[in-house]
Amino acid sequence: MHETVSSLHGASLSIAAFLKQPAAWKDCLLGALCFSADAPANPAQADAELPFLHVAMPRLGADTSFCEVWHGSGELTQGQCGDIRYRHDDAALFGVIELSETLFDVGADKTPLQQATESAYRQVFALLDTLHYPYLFRFWNYIADINAHSFGLERYRQFNLGRQDAFLAHGRDVAGNAPAACALGSARGPLRIAFLAGRALPLSIENPRQISACQYPQEYGPRSPTFARASLVRLPQEELLFVSGTASIVGHASLHPGDVLAQTGETMANIEAVLAEANPLASQPVFNLAMLDYKVYLRRPADLTLIRGELERIVSAPPKAVYLQADICREDLLLEIEATAAHPLIFMAGQWD
């Protein structure tokens, strides 16, 4: 029997640097999410086999694009199943799926985006059942024109309908124990989803300052979003914390409309509250704001300086943060911040960049 080594970890680099890496390095990856305004010049170079999600979102405040890569360990297996491309090691599976709404019937009783979402999530759950990676750690959801209205409903709300229907169809919990997630709007493109799943049961973490998103009232749409505020994943050798996209929401209400500084402060207070919930459940050393890797999605590029300054003030060190221009899933929200951290239980096989 070979030893099971689980050293799932993330790192960041530019798309150009990513493409230049030797094949042997890419062979050790579970997959990647890359963000840039334009698609990479030669996406095939990224390795046609690697689960690689390109998200059409401009990076702000830096000249280079940004890739978030997930390393696996030991022998990796890859495959394609329906619209999903995936790679896994013994402990974790990373997958990506892109699905165009144009494939779906506009005349049906479900909107095309709703159908695409339901199909994508059903495919994910079916794959995980087949390959025996039952537990979702984290979803990344990217939706074109997330705030636009069609068929009488905001597109984010159509997405929520399709997502919850898929959870229910597969007997997955929509009330508690949901995975961590984010849902952002990009300018164009198909529905794009990435996910990390595995064989260890994650702990779903909620935020006492906010009601569970799974219980948002009807005013935010006919079906609640299906995500937890964070998930804590313990693998044999390390522990990972995925903090979901977090915004200036207290209870269920968006606070500080139009005030980007106040929204940043409220968002960070929410992330601190999530850490305070996670830490009693986590092993040492505890998670703190300074150790997190952040992705900051901001609606208006002109807010970058203010948001970045406020984040530096609150974290009281230059935060490890990447800034991306995106639409947030409520019209009145100017930013959403997500974060990830990992610490070794025995040792860290690799470094965070």
Residue showing tokens 């698609």: 39
188: number of Cβ within 10 Å: 7
Interface residue with ligand 3EB, options 225, 277, 287, 324 (CB under 6 A)? 225
Q: Within positions 122 to 141, which residues make up the interface with ligand 3EB, using CB under 6 A?
A: 141
Nearer to ligand 3EB, 21 or 177 (CB): 177
- Which string of x and - marks every residue 41-80 that binds ligand 3EB (by CB under 6 A)? ----------------------------------------
Indicate whether 224 belongs to the interface with ligand 3EB (CB under 6 A).
no
Q: SS3 helix, strand, coil % of the chain, rounded to 5? A: 30, 35, 40
The size of the interface with ligand 3EB (CB under 6 A), counted in residues, is: 13
| Active-site hit among 118, 154, 277, 336 | 336
Contact 296, 337 (CB under 8 A): yes
Query: What gap in Å lies between CA 22 and CA 226, rounded to an integer?
Result: 38
Please indicate whether residue 336 is annotated as part of the active site: yes
The phi and psi torsions of 124 (rounded to 5 degrees) equal: -60, -50
Interface residue with ligand 3EB, options 247, 271, 273, 337 (CB under 6 A)? 247
Indicate whether 213 belongs to the interface with ligand 3EB (CB under 6 A).
yes
Nearer to ligand 3EB, 13 or 233 (CB): 233
Query: What gap in Å lies between CA 307 and CA 150, rounded to an integer?
Result: 32
Query: What gap in Å lies between CA 119 and CA 320, rounded to an integer?
Result: 35
Query: What gap in Å lies between CA 87 and CA 77, rounded to an integer?
Result: 5
Q: Within positions 139 to 168, which residues make up the interface with ligand 3EB, using CB under 6 A?
A: 141
Query: What gap in Å lies between CA 79 and CA 116, rounded to an integer?
Result: 21
Query: What gap in Å lies between CA 33 and CA 235, rounded to an integer?
Result: 22
Indicate whether 273 belongs to the interface with ligand 3EB (CB under 6 A).
no
| 3-state secondary structure (DSSP) of residue 131 | helix
Contact 199, 132 (CB under 8 A): yes
Interface residue with ligand 3EB, options 12, 186, 224, 244 (CB under 6 A)? 244
Query: What gap in Å lies between CA 52 and CA 96, rounded to an integer?
Result: 7
Interface residue with ligand 3EB, options 33, 174, 182, 339 (CB under 6 A)? 182
Region near ligand 3EB per CB under 6 A, out of 85-93, 119-127, 178-186, 302-310: 178-186
Among residues 260, 319, 268, the alpha carbon closest in space to that of 294 is found at 319
Indicate whether 207 belongs to the interface with ligand 3EB (CB under 6 A).
no
Indicate whether 249 belongs to the interface with ligand 3EB (CB under 6 A).
yes
Let me know how long the chain is.
353
Nearer to ligand 3EB, 72 or 265 (CB): 265
Indicate whether 181 belongs to the interface with ligand 3EB (CB under 6 A).
yes
CB of 330 to ligand 3EB, least distance (A): 7
Question: Could you list the active site residues?
Answer: 336
Residues that bind ligand 3EB (CB under 6 A): 141, 181-183, 213, 225, 227, 244-245, 247, 249, 329, 336
